[in-house]
Amino acid sequence: MNKKRVQIIMKSCNRRDLEMEQVRQYLEGNGYELSSNAEARQFETLDDEKVDTNADLIILSTCAFSSVTEESSLHDLQLIQSKKKPTAEIIVCGCLPEINPERLNAMFGGASFGPRGYDKLDTILNAETRYQDYRHSNRAASYAEDVFTIQIEQGCPCNCSYCAIKHSVGSLVSLPLEEAVAQFKNGLDKGYSRFVLMGDCSGGYGLDIGESLGTLLKRIAAFNGDFTVSLTDIASFHLQHCFEEIKLMCAQRRMPSLYVAVQSANNRILGLMKRQCDMSKVREMLLELKTLHPHIELVTSIIAGFPSETLEEFEETLEFCNAISFNTIYCHGYSARPNIVSESLPGKLAASEIEKRCIIAKGRLGSKIALVTIPGKGGTAYAGSRFKALYKRTTHKMSHLSWKIKEALSLS
């Protein structure tokens, strides 16, 4: 009997990659033939030629932390619906089904679930072996093949007022400390030397089990060998809890990359975001890390145009980014999301003002800005050297960006 053919299309982030690796093993174990992968990631438009028109099943992993990525996911879902063979089924997973089910259900009547619902596949596919019987993977498609990734936790213990991701990933569930250390040792034993510790909120690791990221880093630093460890998704208010151990790794030149999400450097806005922390201390800590390890890649993300934010308050964030000299900055225009607390705050800014601030950030922070997302008009994302709308029909040109930067800088 011919095997059923399945294609996985990734629109989600690297945190969902590891889970999809487990899905791949599960599908193969249940007799499916895997078609070529297709990736369009959160901010790109899926190339319609990449849709496998022979697939019997297409699994689309979506993203929806902002309206830009939601538009992008829905746009590609529509494309898949129009391109797939008529009998093919689609399953939608990733974060969109939990963040905006109404919007998804308006255009899609098939099976869907969020990041905590992969075991629903057992029933949907009437599978012989269960999803839970397959091992969580240490290989994420978005990293190089020689990188060993450890998902140290899922979910988040925080309640940032603008965040919709929490609705999707749920509360914090940390990997037991000994299990995380065992995974690291397993990677070392297999000959890996580049490690990434990742999670939905890695800085909160251990808070639910009486441990901390600092303790885990200390255990890892005690191993002998030639290895490096990069960290993703550390909220600025968690940095102080693992700073000494990060410092130790920086002093050993063992931390090539550290992603600390600041979102804003203004105290009033941080209070409204429910991310209050002493940014002068965060500044000191990050500068100390740079001094200890000048080649560390410091990565951050900022939000432009949070409700009631003044231009001066946004300028504080830009000044902070320049002072730290982050190597990579993601700038997201504030995006309305369903059921988030910040949507009920007074002083929401006009879409044009949010766009202006994104453009100012691009002008001020230059090549350090790896990505700008601007909600509205279907959503626009600027990445690397290109500025493009997520909908092909409204493609912006580089000249448009240059003009917009000049305009915004002269207005500010």
Give the nearest distance from C-beta 172 to ligand SF4 in angstroms. Answer: 9
Closest C-alpha among 314, 311, 343, 345 to residue 331: 314
Whether the CB-CB separation of 329 and 280 falls below 8 Å is answered with no
Report in angstroms how near the CB of residue 234 gets to ligand SF4 at its nearest.
9
**Residue 182: how many CB atoms within 10 A of its CB?**
13
Q: Compute the least distance from the CB of residue 66 to ligand SF4, in Å.
A: 8
The bridge status of strand 4-10 relative to strand 228-235 is unpaired
The amino acid present at 64, given as its one-letter code, is A
d(CA 253, CA 296): 8
User: How near is the Cβ of 290 to ligand SF4 at its closest, in Å?
Assistant: 23
Of 16 and 293, nearer to ligand SF4 (C-beta) is 16
CB of 158 or CB of 351, closer to ligand SF4: 158
188 or 273: whose CB is closer to ligand SF4?
273
Q: Token pair 């320049």 is at which residue?
A: 322
Going by C-alpha positions, the residue among 254, 255, 278 that lies closest to residue 266 is 278
Give min distance, CB of 275 to ligand SF4, in A: 7
Q: Which is nearer to ligand SF4, 181 or 261 (CB)?
A: 261
Distance CA 183, CA 173 (A): 17
CB of 392 to ligand SF4, least distance (A): 22
Number of H helices, E strands in the chain: 14, 16
- Which residue number, 66 or 380, has a Cβ lying nearer to ligand SF4? 66
Closer CB to ligand SF4, residue 88 or residue 172?
Answer: 172
Q: CA–CA separation, 179 vs 164, rounded Å? A: 29
State which residue, 30 or 373, has the beta carbon closest to ligand SF4. Answer: 373
Please report how close the Cβ of residue 262 comes to ligand SF4 at its closest, in angstroms. 11
* Shortest separation between residue 391's beta carbon and ligand SF4, angstroms: 19
Sheet (strand 173-174) strand order: 173-174, 147-154, 194-199, 228-235, 257-261, 297-304, 328-333, 369-374, 380-383, 386-389
| Stretch (H or E) spanning 260 | strand 257-261
Distances (CA, A) of 11 to 51, 149, 329, 390, 405: 13, 19, 20, 12, 29
Q: Which is nearer to ligand SF4, 14 or 138 (CB)?
A: 14
CA–CA separation, 250 and 292 (whole Å):
6
User: Smaller CB distance to ligand SF4: residue 165 or 207?
Assistant: 165
Cα gap 113→136, rounded to integer Å: 18
DSSP 391: S
Do 21 and 150 meet the contact criterion of CB atoms below 8 Å apart?
no
Query: Which of 13, 51 has the CB closer to ligand SF4?
Result: 13
Q: Which residues, in sequence order, are CB contacts of 238 under 8 Å at separation 6+? A: 201, 203, 204, 213
User: Which of residues 320 and 330 has its CB atom nearest to ligand SF4 in the complex?
Assistant: 330
Q: Which residues of this chain interact with ligand SF4, rule CB under 6 A?
A: 12-13, 15-16, 63-65, 69, 94-95, 156, 158-160, 163, 165-166, 168-169, 200-201, 235
Instruction: Name the helix (H) or strand (E) containing 333.
Output: strand 328-333
Compute the least distance from the CB of residue 387 to ligand SF4, in Å.
Answer: 21
**Beta carbon of residue 292, minimum distance to ligand SF4 (angstroms, whole number):** 25
Question: Shortest distance, CB of residue 73 to ligand SF4, whole angstroms?
Answer: 9
β-strand partners of 303: 332
